[in-house]
Chains A and B, each alone.
Chain A
């Protein structure tokens, strides 16, 4: 179950999309989210879908893998689809079974909203699947750079994010170990009424917290010893380089927005 989920997972590769600058990809996704709302008729939604599939193709992520990994999202999508189908009125009455009436407008809206949902989820997944978390962090740090002037602690936020990402697997391992240790002592988290299960989680969380604090203290010492004293005067090991292809990808998106605007009704 967990292995199949692809939220926030990174699949290394060397596709065109993989090699784009993380800043370009982040900007691209944010602009795309805004552009999606231009679409308002069959043609524009079709173009939107086509563009998204093209992006998936360029990222060399297998469509089957993407769909398989996003199953929980499809449940949500189906839910909104049926909500629109049953409750939006307008246009001709298409079907009427018992007290359920399905109108033309309901079907249209249902399909449009589902497509909107789908393209948004696909595009953001492409971003996280083709960009390592550390590159995303780097990208965000540089993009937010101008906000340092208004005292936003950009460097600190980025560092926090990268350290959190770095410690996720470590803490997961640790949780597994504590879980086993508690199970060996007869604690039972997997079954019983909800109340009992919540109670059983407490002896798991406390050791985890204690060790996380210990780790934080050690890490702070290790960082200080290695000369860390904030973002001031620091150089960066990871360099981002913006190439022509990054500019082109953003221009392509602008062109795409123009196209949508042209065909919208």
Chain B
């Protein structure tokens, strides 16, 4: 069960290999994701995150190194097989809504994979329930909020019952409310099904929820580890243009001011919790 579901081995990719002045978007990258893990991939804009996502499902092929997914080597032949086991959600909620209504959109991947009609109806219901959008079957995209559209996109990815869900900055264009909706959906999904998730983000608060964080910088892997260990290198992160979650920055400032907080609280809620217990224990 705990096998590796996806692995990169010394992968290098350049968009224009003929042009020597273009630096590789991803260079000499190795990592792997185990079944059931939640991994966050963070990095500043242009650090190669989306390129990695595209290498994962064969939208791009590396010039060097190998990509393995679902136990198969990525190739023209294994491509569709791999894609059918991998769901992917992108940044812009409007640009990935293919169907005319919510249910059409969720069914799109099922249609493409030749799933029989009766089975489709069941799966569309089921996946919309998982993202709590089952009441919106016949809604058209322009009547939905950004967060709702992203949840539909997640349902569309789940409909094929993938083993891995990749979210490429799926929350970055949403308002705080929409962002919370989507993150909450992922959390609940993980609790209910143990789905393997790779979330690409530059929101460290979102990354804090993951089991493991990979930090990318200029196409290379800079750090890798649990959220605690990655966040403890806060100077390095700031240098790369990544801001620590508000609660952690706050805790740091409080410590400087002499308030003995642990600095382990990663969300505002946890910090408030810590602060009031600190005061009531004093």
- Min CB distance B126 to A, Å, is 14
B99 at the interface (CB under 8 A from A): yes
- Considering the complex, give the chain A residue whose CB is closest to the CB of B80: A227
Of the listed stretches B2-10, B101-109, B183-191, B233-241, chain A binds B101-109
Chain A interface: which of B29-37, B62-70, B83-91, B273-281? B83-91
| Residues A222 and B95 in contact in the complex (CB < 8 Å), given A170-B141, A227-B109, A237-B104 | yes
Q: Mark A61-102, 1 if CB is under 8 A from B, else 0.
A: 000000000000000000000000000000000000000000
Cβ contacts under 8 Å, A233 to chain B? 114
Partner of A221, one of B59, B108, B141: B59
B94 adjacent to chain A (CB < 8 Å):
yes
Whether, in the assembled complex, B92 has its beta carbon less than 8 Å from a beta carbon of chain A, the answer is yes
Interface centre among B111, B121, B157, B160 (most CB of A within 10 A): B111
For B95, the chain A residues whose CB sits under 8 A away are 214-215, 218-219, 222
Contacts of A224 in B (CB 8 A): 59, 83
The answer to the question of A134 belonging to the interface, with a C-beta cut-off of 8 Å to chain B, is yes
Chain B residues near A219 (CB, 8 Å)? 95-96, 98
A228 near B: Cβ within 8 Å?
A: yes
Q: Any chain A CB within 8 A of the CB of B115?
A: yes
Q: Given the known inter-chain contacts A169-B142, A173-B142, A229-B112, please indicate yes or no for A236 contacting B117, CB distance below 8 A.
A: yes
| CB of B147 to closest CB in A, whole Å | 17
Q: Which residues of B contact A134 (CB under 8 A)?
A: 100-101, 104
- Which residues on the A side are within 8 Å of B216 (C-beta)? none
Establish whether residues B90 and A222, one from each chain, have CB atoms under 8 Å apart when the complex forms. yes
Choose among A133, A169, A235, A238 the residue with the greatest number of B CB atoms under 10 Å from its CB.
A235
Q: Does B271 sit within 8 A of A, measured CB to CB?
A: no
CB-CB contacts below 8 Å: A201-240 with B:
214-215, 218-219, 221-229, 233-239
**Could you tell me the distance between the alpha carbons of A87 and B114 in the complex, rounded to whole angstroms?**
61
Contact for A166 among B59, B88, B90, B141, CB less than 8 A: B141
Please determine whether B104 and A235 come into contact, CB atoms closer than 8 angstroms.
Answer: no
- Chain A residues within an 8 Å CB radius of B94: 170, 215
Let me know if A229 and B80 touch, CB within 8 A.
Answer: yes
B124 touching A237, Cβ below 8 Å = yes
> CA separation between A222 and B88, bound complex, in Å?
8
Residues of B within 8 A of A170 (CB): 94, 141-142
**Do the beta carbons of B96 and A235 come within 8 Å of each other?**
no
* Alpha-carbon separation in the docked complex, A134 to B138 (Å): 12
What separation, in Å, do the CA atoms of A98 and B117 have in the docked complex?
A: 72
Contact A236 B96 (CB under 8 A): no
Residues A90-131 near B (CB distance < 8 A): none
Q: List 27 A-B contacts (CB under 8 A).
A: A134-B100, A162-B99, A166-B140, A169-B142, A170-B142, A215-B94, A221-B90, A222-B88, A222-B90, A222-B95, A222-B98, A225-B57, A226-B88, A226-B98, A226-B108, A226-B112, A226-B156, A226-B160, A227-B113, A227-B160, A228-B108, A229-B112, A233-B114, A235-B117, A236-B117, A237-B111, A237-B124
The 9 closest A-B pairs by CB, nearest first: A218-B95, A237-B107, A222-B96, A227-B112, A226-B109, A169-B142, A134-B100, A225-B88, A215-B95
Known: A166-B140, A226-B108, A235-B120. 12 other contacts (CB 8 A): A166-B98, A166-B141, A169-B141, A214-B95, A218-B92, A226-B156, A226-B157, A227-B83, A227-B113, A227-B160, A234-B112, A239-B117
